[in-house]
Amino acid sequence: MFTFHKTDIEGVYIIEPKVFGDERGYFMETYRESDFREAGLDYKFVQDNQSRSRKGVLRGLHYQRNFPQAKLVRVISGVVFDVAVDLRKNSPTYGKWVGAILSSENKHMLMIPRGFAHGFVVLSDTAEFVYKCDEMYHPEDEGGILWNDPNIGIVWPYQEDPLLSEKDKKHPTLKESKVEF
Protein backbone atom coordinates (compact mmCIF):
# COMPACT_ATOMS: atom_id res chain seq x y z
CA MET A 1 0.00 0.00 0.00
CA PHE A 2 3.03 2.30 0.33
CA THR A 3 6.18 3.04 -1.62
CA PHE A 4 9.12 3.89 0.64
CA HIS A 5 11.77 6.09 -0.99
CA LYS A 6 15.13 6.33 0.78
CA THR A 7 16.66 9.79 0.90
CA ASP A 8 20.33 10.79 1.10
CA ILE A 9 20.12 10.59 4.90
CA GLU A 10 19.85 7.19 6.56
CA GLY A 11 16.48 6.63 8.21
CA VAL A 12 14.63 9.48 6.47
CA TYR A 13 12.06 8.32 3.92
CA ILE A 14 9.63 9.97 1.55
CA ILE A 15 6.56 7.76 1.58
CA GLU A 16 3.94 7.56 -1.17
CA PRO A 17 0.62 5.99 -0.18
CA LYS A 18 -1.45 4.04 -2.70
CA VAL A 19 -4.38 6.28 -3.61
CA PHE A 20 -7.62 4.81 -4.94
CA GLY A 21 -9.58 7.48 -6.76
CA ASP A 22 -12.48 7.94 -9.12
CA GLU A 23 -15.06 10.60 -9.97
CA ARG A 24 -16.36 10.48 -6.36
CA GLY A 25 -13.01 11.34 -4.77
CA TYR A 26 -10.31 9.14 -3.27
CA PHE A 27 -9.39 6.75 -0.45
CA MET A 28 -5.95 5.99 0.98
CA GLU A 29 -4.38 4.50 4.05
CA THR A 30 -2.07 6.95 5.78
CA TYR A 31 -0.42 4.38 8.04
CA ARG A 32 -0.34 0.61 8.41
CA GLU A 33 1.95 -0.71 11.13
CA SER A 34 2.78 -3.98 9.32
CA ASP A 35 3.80 -2.23 6.07
CA PHE A 36 5.99 0.25 7.91
CA ARG A 37 7.57 -2.50 10.02
CA GLU A 38 8.28 -4.54 6.88
CA ALA A 39 10.09 -1.48 5.45
CA GLY A 40 12.23 -1.30 8.61
CA LEU A 41 10.27 1.57 10.16
CA ASP A 42 9.22 -0.03 13.43
CA TYR A 43 7.64 2.79 15.44
CA LYS A 44 4.95 2.88 18.07
CA PHE A 45 3.18 6.21 17.66
CA VAL A 46 1.72 7.70 20.85
CA GLN A 47 0.60 11.20 19.87
CA ASP A 48 -0.96 12.87 16.81
CA ASN A 49 -0.69 16.63 16.21
CA GLN A 50 -2.17 19.07 13.71
CA SER A 51 -1.38 22.69 12.88
CA ARG A 52 -2.72 25.28 10.48
CA SER A 53 -0.50 28.06 9.18
CA ARG A 54 -0.65 30.76 6.55
CA LYS A 55 1.69 31.38 3.64
CA GLY A 56 5.22 32.22 4.64
CA VAL A 57 5.01 30.78 8.15
CA LEU A 58 8.17 28.85 8.98
CA ARG A 59 8.04 26.56 12.00
CA GLY A 60 11.32 25.12 13.21
CA LEU A 61 13.86 23.81 13.38
CA HIS A 62 12.62 21.94 16.48
CA TYR A 63 13.69 18.89 18.48
CA GLN A 64 13.38 17.54 22.03
CA ARG A 65 16.61 17.15 24.01
CA ASN A 66 15.90 14.25 26.38
CA PHE A 67 12.74 12.82 24.84
CA PRO A 68 13.50 12.81 21.09
CA GLN A 69 10.62 12.11 18.74
CA ALA A 70 10.35 10.19 15.50
CA LYS A 71 7.72 11.84 13.31
CA LEU A 72 5.61 10.77 10.37
CA VAL A 73 4.47 14.05 8.79
CA ARG A 74 2.04 14.94 6.00
CA VAL A 75 -0.10 17.77 4.69
CA ILE A 76 -3.89 17.46 4.46
CA SER A 77 -4.50 20.90 2.94
CA GLY A 78 -2.09 23.12 1.03
CA VAL A 79 1.64 22.84 0.29
CA VAL A 80 4.73 22.96 2.52
CA PHE A 81 8.46 22.45 2.14
CA ASP A 82 9.41 20.10 4.96
CA VAL A 83 12.96 19.69 6.31
CA ALA A 84 14.82 17.26 8.56
CA VAL A 85 18.35 18.01 9.85
CA ASP A 86 20.52 15.15 11.12
CA LEU A 87 21.70 15.74 14.71
CA ARG A 88 23.03 12.20 15.34
CA LYS A 89 26.66 12.65 16.42
CA ASN A 90 27.94 9.37 14.95
CA SER A 91 26.11 9.79 11.67
CA PRO A 92 28.14 10.42 8.50
CA THR A 93 25.43 12.97 7.60
CA TYR A 94 25.54 14.91 10.90
CA GLY A 95 24.47 18.51 10.20
CA LYS A 96 23.10 17.65 6.75
CA TRP A 97 19.49 18.22 5.72
CA VAL A 98 16.89 16.69 3.47
CA GLY A 99 13.76 18.46 2.26
CA ALA A 100 10.59 17.52 0.42
CA ILE A 101 7.48 19.18 -0.93
CA LEU A 102 4.49 17.75 0.92
CA SER A 103 1.03 18.65 -0.30
CA SER A 104 -2.60 17.63 -0.24
CA GLU A 105 -2.19 16.93 -3.97
CA ASN A 106 0.88 14.65 -3.92
CA LYS A 107 -0.09 13.08 -0.56
CA HIS A 108 3.56 12.30 0.20
CA MET A 109 4.72 11.82 3.78
CA LEU A 110 8.13 12.24 5.38
CA MET A 111 9.38 9.78 8.00
CA ILE A 112 11.85 11.48 10.34
CA PRO A 113 13.60 9.27 12.91
CA ARG A 114 14.70 10.33 16.38
CA GLY A 115 17.77 12.53 16.48
CA PHE A 116 16.66 15.12 13.93
CA ALA A 117 15.58 18.75 14.01
CA HIS A 118 12.41 19.35 12.00
CA GLY A 119 10.80 22.35 10.36
CA PHE A 120 8.65 23.48 7.46
CA VAL A 121 7.62 26.58 5.53
CA VAL A 122 4.13 27.07 4.07
CA LEU A 123 4.12 27.71 0.31
CA SER A 124 0.34 27.86 -0.28
CA ASP A 125 -2.13 30.45 1.06
CA THR A 126 -2.70 28.16 4.07
CA ALA A 127 -1.68 24.64 5.01
CA GLU A 128 -2.84 22.05 7.51
CA PHE A 129 -0.01 19.84 8.71
CA VAL A 130 -0.44 16.59 10.65
CA TYR A 131 2.09 14.32 12.26
CA LYS A 132 2.37 11.20 14.33
CA CYS A 133 5.03 11.09 17.08
CA ASP A 134 6.55 8.12 18.88
CA GLU A 135 7.14 10.16 22.05
CA MET A 136 4.91 12.60 23.89
CA TYR A 137 5.62 16.32 23.56
CA HIS A 138 7.43 17.77 26.58
CA PRO A 139 7.44 21.61 26.38
CA GLU A 140 10.25 21.96 28.93
CA ASP A 141 12.44 19.68 26.78
CA GLU A 142 12.14 21.69 23.57
CA GLY A 143 15.20 22.80 21.64
CA GLY A 144 15.82 24.43 18.31
CA ILE A 145 18.31 25.30 15.62
CA LEU A 146 18.26 28.58 13.70
CA TRP A 147 16.23 28.07 10.52
CA ASN A 148 18.83 29.79 8.32
CA ASP A 149 22.02 28.46 9.94
CA PRO A 150 24.63 29.09 7.20
CA ASN A 151 26.59 25.96 8.13
CA ILE A 152 23.56 23.77 7.47
CA GLY A 153 22.65 25.72 4.33
CA ILE A 154 19.01 24.78 3.86
CA VAL A 155 17.73 26.06 0.54
CA TRP A 156 14.22 27.18 1.46
CA PRO A 157 12.00 27.67 -1.63
CA TYR A 158 10.39 30.75 -0.11
CA GLN A 159 12.12 33.94 -1.23
CA GLU A 160 10.59 36.47 1.16
CA ASP A 161 11.34 36.82 4.87
CA PRO A 162 9.42 34.01 6.60
CA LEU A 163 6.96 34.60 9.43
CA LEU A 164 8.61 33.23 12.58
CA SER A 165 7.60 32.91 16.21
CA GLU A 166 9.68 34.94 18.67
CA LYS A 167 11.12 31.66 19.94
CA ASP A 168 12.17 30.52 16.45
CA LYS A 169 13.90 33.85 15.76
CA LYS A 170 16.22 33.26 18.73
CA HIS A 171 17.41 29.67 18.24
CA PRO A 172 21.19 29.18 18.18
CA THR A 173 23.09 27.76 15.23
CA LEU A 174 23.92 24.05 15.30
CA LYS A 175 27.51 24.86 16.25
CA GLU A 176 26.38 27.11 19.12
CA SER A 177 23.83 24.60 20.41
CA LYS A 178 26.26 21.68 20.42
CA VAL A 179 23.28 19.31 20.29
CA GLU A 180 24.04 15.70 19.37
CA PHE A 181 22.00 12.56 19.69
Which H or E element spans position 168? helix 166-169
Choice among 13, 43, 63, 131 that is catalytic: 131
Long-range contacts of 19-25 (CB under 8 A, 24+ apart): 19/107
- Distance, CA of 181 to chain centre: 17
List all residues 6 or more positions away from 52 whose beta carbon is below 8 Å from its beta carbon: 77, 126, 127, 128, 129
Question: How big is the chain, counted in residues?
Answer: 181
Distance between CA atoms of residues 61 and 17, nearest Å = 26
171 catalytic? Reply is: no
Choice among 62, 108, 118, 171 that is catalytic: 62
List all residues 6 or more positions away from 6 whose beta carbon is below 8 Å from its beta carbon: 12, 13
131 catalytic? Reply is: yes
The residues annotated with a catalytic role in the active site are 62, 131
